[in-house]
Amino acid sequence: MNNFTYERLHNNLQYLKMNTIEELLDNCLELAARDSKTTMEVLDYLFEQERKHREAVAIERRMKSAGFPVNKTLEVFDFEFQSSIDKTVIYDLAMLRFVHNAENVVLLGPPGVGKSHLAIALGIEVAKAGLSVYFINAGNLIERLKTANREGVLEKKLRDLMKYKVLIIDEIGYLPFDEEGAHCLFQLISRRYEKSSTIFTSNKSYGEWGEIFKDHIIAAAVLDRILHHSTTINIKGESYRLKERKRQGIKTGNLYQ
């Protein structure tokens, strides 16, 4: 390859933003000549690396914009400890058919049983599959929606939230919503109904949702839309945090430390 060809090739790769190929090219051509690789093999290798790198960057970007508070994956979830959860149901959800069908997932149970962990783990699967996902605490979400409502930009805020293929609303029920908050949330849920998936976590059973909304009619209307196409995971076990504390307590000989 003469100098002109070499330079033009590098310039074109830069122009086309094929940075990985550009980086690997010289070394790859050298090794290919040494190992008598075919042109097809060289091209295949280079494009495969470029694609892999771009995918990894895109996943990283989606993971950042998802706003996960911590990184929790399915692989580190101990299904033996939480025997009320059917592992096959969770792994089936991780195939993301529910996302393609715009269905919802609701994780219910007392504190510490892994609701947020599983919601984040499913969210990570969504990001890995190349789809957009956003995690938000229910209290924060309501505050943001109410602020937008007062500033007359609720419509824009709702549209912004529609761009996520999956929205994770964590901790419904820790704080009750006032009338305005319930009304805003109802609007969001109505928008997403049958269009995009939402994952909810809550420490309150469905029967108690009326208290969260203070208004039983709105609660019923919200639940009606959420539950029409949804999977509920009811977790009944012991808190994992408590288990960890007990284990530490046994080590130190004091359960109450």
Ligand X SMILES: Nc1ncnc2c1ncn2[C@@H]1O[C@H](COP(=O)(O)OP(=O)(O)O)[C@@H](O)[C@H]1O
Q: Interface with Mg ion by CB under 5 A: which residues? A: 116
Binding residue (CB under 6 A) for ligand X from 20, 104, 116, 196? 116
Q: Which is nearer to Mg ion, 18 or 107 (CB)?
A: 107
- By the rule CB under 6 A, 137 interacts with ligand X: no
H helices of the chain, in order, are 3-15, 19-34, 39-66, 87-93, 97-100, 115-128, 138-150, 154-162, 179-192, 209-213, 216-228, 240-252
Structure tokens at 134: 């956003």
Question: Which DSSP letter does residue 76 get?
Answer: T
Residues 6 or more apart whose CB falls under 8 angstroms from that of 41 comprise 32
For ligand X, which is the closer residue by CB, 197 or 201?
201
> Residue 72 binds what, of Mg ion, ligand X, none (CB under 5 to 8 Å, by partner type)?
ligand X
For the chain, the straight-line distance linking the first and the last C-alpha, in angstroms and rounded, comes to 71
Q: Which of 13, 93, 99, 117 binds ligand X (CB under 6 A)?
A: 117
Residue whose CB is less far from Mg ion, 116 or 198: 116
Nearest residue to Mg ion, using CB? 116
Select from Mg ion, ligand X, none the partner in contact with residue 113, using the beta carbon and a kind-dependent cut-off of 5 to 8 Å.
ligand X
| Residue 165, both tokens | 């293929």
Q: Which residues of 5-39 are buried (b: 16+ CB within 10 A; e: fewer)?
A: eeeeeeeebeeeebebbbebbeebbeebeeeebee
- Please give the residues from 183 up to 242 whose contact with ligand X meets the rule CB under 6 A: 201, 240-241
114 counts as binding ligand X under rule CB under 6 A:
yes
46 versus 199: smaller Cβ distance to ligand X: 199
Give whichever of 147 and 234 is closer to Mg ion, judged by the CB atom.
234
User: Could you list the residues that contact ligand X (CB under 6 A)?
Assistant: 72, 76-78, 81-82, 109, 111-117, 201, 240-241
